[in-house]
């Protein structure tokens, strides 16, 4: 394990020992130091995901135009809602998060970046929390499973589902089936690989599959939780909720990545999956209610 990864995991364990309010306070402060002035990079990182969302819809003869969108996982700034609203011409975006990460400073900086990069001048609403622009609603500290859903034509998540507990995923999708109008769409961009490998390049993207569930739970915290679900498990959750699978696609590893995978001693919990199912990465799913 690299020194960088050891330090990161050690820091998360320390924060995890603190009372939840204090832990998240210091987590926010650290994130501000690391990423606070890097809004342009956040925007550019989200841009390909917006293009991917558009492609997935266009292939089905659909678009974002005029749609009411529900976003799962708001993150640190409303980057995807801005793309959806100002580039995709969506009608509205309601973004839900279990935590509260937005700040006025981040929204102002995002406005500056959208003007400098795309020539889009965004007028914030001064009387609204965080000075968000019209037609974007933010629901922090909100459990989507227990919430009243706004009018929704399309549900969207970007690299969120892998951080949600499996039982919550099941309840969430059953709620969508029950509460959304027939024909509503759900688009998920899922990153199922071991995120520690993005910090330590020597690790396999499937390194965490060597651990039992009990061992893995001891290694992670609420700040870096990953459910380790494989492709068939996600599809089984969607099927159990009686959602129609319109499209699924995923990456397969190149030679170097596959070589690292083969060196991992896969735990018994995952041995019933094929190599393709274990290594399926960047899963993109389109569902219909």
In sequence order, what are the residues at sequence separation of 6 or more whose Cβ sits closer than 8 angstroms to the Cβ of residue 115? 121, 122
Q: What is the pLDDT of residues 74-128, one digit of tens each?
A: 999 999 999 999 999 999 999 999 988 899 999 999 999 999 999 999 989 888 8
Whether the pLDDT of residue 217 is over 90: the answer is yes
Q: What is the pLDDT of residues 164-188, one digit of tens each?
A: 999 999 999 999 999 999 999 999 9
Q: How confident is the model at residue 271 (pLDDT cuts 50, 70, 90)?
A: very high
- Structural domains in the chain plus CATH codes: 3-288 (3.40.50.150)
Total-model pTM: 0.93
- Residue 51 pLDDT: 98
In sequence order, what are the residues at sequence separation of 6 or more whose Cβ sits closer than 8 angstroms to the Cβ of residue 101? 28, 74, 75, 76, 77, 140
In sequence order, what are the residues at sequence separation of 6 or more whose Cβ sits closer than 8 angstroms to the Cβ of residue 77? 39, 42, 101, 102, 106, 107, 109, 110
């Amino acid at each position: 394990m690299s020194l960088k990864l050891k330090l990161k995991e050690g820091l998360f364990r320390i924060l995890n020992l603190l009372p939840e309010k204090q832990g998240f306070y210091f987590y926010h402060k650290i994130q501000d130091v690391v990423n606070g002035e890097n809004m342009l990079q956040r925007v550019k990182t989200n841009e390909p995901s917006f293009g991917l969302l558009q492609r997935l819809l266009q292939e089905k003869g659909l678009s974002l135009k005029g749609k009411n969108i529900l976003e799962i996982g708001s993150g640190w700034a409303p980057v995807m809602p801005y793309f959806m609203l100002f580039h995709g011409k969506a009608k509205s975006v309601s973004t839900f998060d279990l935590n509260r990460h937005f700040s006025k400073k981040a929204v102002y900086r995002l406005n500056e970046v959208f003007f400098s990069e795309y020539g889009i001048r965004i007028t914030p609403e001064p009387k609204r929390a965080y000075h968000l622009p019209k037609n974007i609603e933010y629901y922090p500290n909100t459990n989507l499973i227990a919430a009243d859903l706004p009018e929704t034509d399309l549900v969207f998540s970007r690299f969120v589902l892998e951080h949600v507990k499996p039982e919550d995923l099941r309840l969430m999708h059953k709620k969508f089936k029950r509460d959304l109008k027939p024909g509503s769409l759900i688009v998920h961009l899922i990153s199922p690989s071991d995120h520690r490998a993005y910090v330590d390049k020597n690790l396999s993207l499937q390194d965490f599959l060597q651990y039992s569930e009990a061992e893995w739970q001891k290694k992670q915290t609420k700040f870096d939780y990953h459910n380790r679900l494989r492709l068939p498990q996600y599809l089984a959750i969607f099927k159990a909720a009686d959602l129609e699978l319109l499209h699924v696609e995923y990456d397969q590893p190149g030679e170097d990545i596959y070589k690292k995978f083969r060196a991992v001693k896969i735990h018994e919990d995952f041995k019933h999956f094929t190599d393709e199912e274990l290594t399926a990465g960047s899963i993109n799913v389109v569902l219909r209610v």
